[in-house]
Structure 1
Amino acid sequence: MGKKNIGMKVVCENRKARHDYFIHETYETGLALQGTEVKSLRAGKANLKDSYAMIKNGEIFVENMHVSPYDQGNIFNHDPLRPRKLLMHKSEIVKLFAKTREKGFTLVPLKIYFKNGKAKLELALASGKHNYDKRQDLHEKAAKREVERALKDRQRY
């Protein structure tokens, strides 16, 4: 038996989520996938834009996550936008269910990655930002960049 690749290989990231939401907590979940979906993920063909997670009947599913059909797949290829079950402990799901019932909280996927050969999804408990919050973040980012640029120029002389 060969040694599995140890470490993390990020497949895709939802960068817009950090811009649109305040991230309160993150969770690592497993993904219940079909064979061709795993091959597509390994090729890096996934998109988390506009995806979200919801809890139905004590199970948690990710919706609107696009995994492109596998190129060498045949009639057994998967539906690109099908809801995919997330694998979490029951106690964590109950806790998340209680939190999402509070006003303004939602479950947002942040990234998909492979850890020790298994597909994982980083799920965040988040609340939405207003436009003024987003502008504030952009101003802070610009100020930080300006300070770093000034320090870099200062070190040159």
Structure 2
Amino acid sequence: MEASSFTPTCNRELSAHTDCVKAFLREARTDHSPYLPGTGDPNYDKCSGSREHFAKCMRERPDDRGTFRRTMSTELPQPCEMELNLHGQCVANYLAQSVRTGKDYMFLGRGSSQMEDKCFLTRAAFEKCMMYQKITERATNEGQVEYADFSRRFGRQTQTTLGAE
């Protein structure tokens, strides 16, 4: 899916939902809280409102096509921002495609828990990055600089080591 296929009047709604997903996922992984999109529970699906708002906008303007635009930030990126942005773009593409084509979207209410989460890999990449970020921070704070460097280069071994603690 190309970015040029988004409805220009719904850019703001899609951007709001994407920002919500990114903020909620970061908060959930930072605070070790559940991230359960599609449940409708306001504690675990904090972006259901923005998701529904975007879907409604797209349904109301199905023939309005244009260019999807995002603004650039001048702030320094937070840890794992690239992975989070990739996940946000995946959510934006998948949700827009679903609404535009009428195909079910896993987290849009009519979806099923048996459906494939098309953004699972991008979310998992962000979660993995955050896990390694925390391991590296902890090792650095404890003066274990060699361990922190090792965790960056050899993630699989670090994951095994973490489970043994």
TM-score range, shorter chain: under 0.3
Q: TM-score, normalised by structure 1?
A: 0.26
Q: Higher RCO, 1 or 2 (CA under 8 Å, sep at least 6)?
A: 1
The structure that is helix-richer by fraction is 2
Q: TM-score, normalised by structure 2?
A: 0.25
